[in-house]
């Protein structure tokens, strides 16, 4: 099949070229949008990532271009207008699980770095500064970690934190009995906020979860709490979080995702003037750690993303039931 790949980086090309046998792939660095859509002409499928906004007008244009399949090379699908795709008879497939370990372990990396300040220690020592001033952290052992969403990633993250000797609270409409047996204590949302020293978000972005962490939720949290978001930026009301950091009620923030991340994350903007004032403000806090949506970025996850995406395309081409279809 002819597939037009959008928002591609060298690592996408590397892994897809390694596993592609049957398809004619065109890799484009640009995101799929009104301007770049002409690149999809003649392709039967487009392959897109988390920040390609596939709205109704893009879908209409894809239909006109002859595209029959949108292959998401990610798990989340909040960026696709599924109703418009259905009306245009364009199928949407995704990679529901690649390496949940990659994201869960990245959440741990954010916690460890924020807590023990290894990013600051690294720079300090390189400058010949061996002082320990302001590097004090806290033991994770016996701290209470609240996990919102205990699906594939949240479940693994829960086990990691149990392994570190933490008490784990969780909130999910569908409690996992295996996690309960492992020692996770399911509570309601409010109770989780009140009792947790660290809150980590692992639920999807939906209309129900948009700004789940808003001023009201932040006000219920422990003074000095650590908030971690490796899920989707809009789970957090960023303005409310900035206020909570300024008034020192929020002790630490670790984010791999940001509400307005498209056009910023995944790009080298080091020579440019950052136009996003909220992100610029976040970057000034000493107790904020931002990574640019790299939770998925492991060898294992990139391998699985390539293999599953190519299998999804092959199943579509050969009219085999699409097990990873999003409806």
List residues with catalytic annotation: 232, 261, 293
> H helices within 147-237, ranges in order?
152-163, 177-182, 189-195, 215-220
Write down the residue that tokens 């136009």 correspond to: 275
Identity of the residue, 147 or 240, whose beta carbon is nearer to ligand NAI in the bound complex: 147
Largest Cα span, the chain: 64
CB of 100 to ligand NAI, least distance (A): 6
- List phi, psi (to 5°) of 280: -60, -40
Q: Which residues form the interface with ligand NAI (CB under 6 A)?
A: 75-76, 97, 100, 103, 148-154, 171-174, 202-205, 208-209, 230-232, 256-257, 293, 295-296
Cα gap 30→93, rounded to integer Å: 21
CB of 208 to ligand NAI, least distance (A): 5
- Residue 310 to residues 22, 26, 306, 314: CA-CA distances in angstroms? 9, 14, 6, 6
CB of 43 to ligand NAI, least distance (A): 25
Identity of the residue, 1 or 187, whose beta carbon is nearer to ligand NAI in the bound complex: 187
CB of 317 to ligand NAI, least distance (A): 26
Closest CA to 256 of 98, 103, 100, 49: 103
Q: At what angle do helices 100-116 and 152-163 cross, to 10 degrees?
A: 50
Identity of the residue, 182 or 204, whose beta carbon is nearer to ligand NAI in the bound complex: 204
Identity of the residue, 62 or 238, whose beta carbon is nearer to ligand NAI in the bound complex: 238
Q: Which residue is nearest to ligand NAI (CB)?
A: 151
């Amino acid at each position: 099949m002819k597939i037009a790949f959008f928002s591609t980086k060298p690592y996408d090309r590397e892994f897809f070229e390694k596993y592609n046998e049957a398809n004619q792939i065109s890799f484009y660095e640009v995101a799929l949008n009104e301007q770049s859509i002409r690149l999809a002409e003649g392709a039967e499928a487009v392959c897109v990532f988390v920040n390609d906004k596939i709205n109704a007008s893009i879908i209409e244009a894809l239909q006109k271009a002859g595209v029959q399949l949108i292959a998401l090379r990610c798990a989340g699908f909040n960026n696709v207008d599924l109703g418009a795709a259905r009306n245009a008879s364009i199928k949407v497939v995704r990679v529901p699980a690649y390496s949940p370990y990659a994201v869960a372990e990245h959440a741990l990396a954010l916690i460890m770095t924020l807590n023990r300040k290894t990013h600051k220690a690294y720079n300090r020592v390189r400058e010949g500064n061996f002082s320990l001033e302001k590097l004090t952290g806290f033991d994770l052992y016996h701290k209470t970690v609240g996990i919102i969403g205990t699906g594939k990633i949240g479940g693994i993250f829960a086990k990691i934190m149990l392994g570190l000797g933490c008490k784990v609270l969780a909130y999910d409409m569908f409690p996992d009995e295996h996690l309960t047996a492992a020692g996770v204590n399911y509570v309601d949302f409010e109770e989780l906020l009140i009792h947790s020293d660290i809150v980590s978000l692992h639920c999807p972005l939906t209309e129900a979860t948009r700004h789940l962490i808003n001023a009201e939720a932040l006000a219920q949290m422990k003074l000095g709490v650590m908030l971690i978001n490796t899920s989707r930026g809009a789970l957090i009301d960023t303005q409310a979080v900035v206020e909570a950091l300024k008034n020192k009620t929020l002790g630490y923030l670790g984010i791999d995702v940001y509400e307005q991340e498209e056009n910023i994350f995944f790009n080298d903007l080091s020579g440019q003037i950052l136009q996003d004032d909220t992100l610029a403000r976040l970057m000034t806090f000493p107790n904020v750690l931002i990574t640019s949506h790299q939770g998925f970025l492991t060898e294992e996850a990139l391998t699985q993303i390539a293999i599953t995406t190519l299998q999804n395309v092959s199943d579509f081409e050969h009219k085999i039931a699409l097990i990873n279809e999003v409806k």
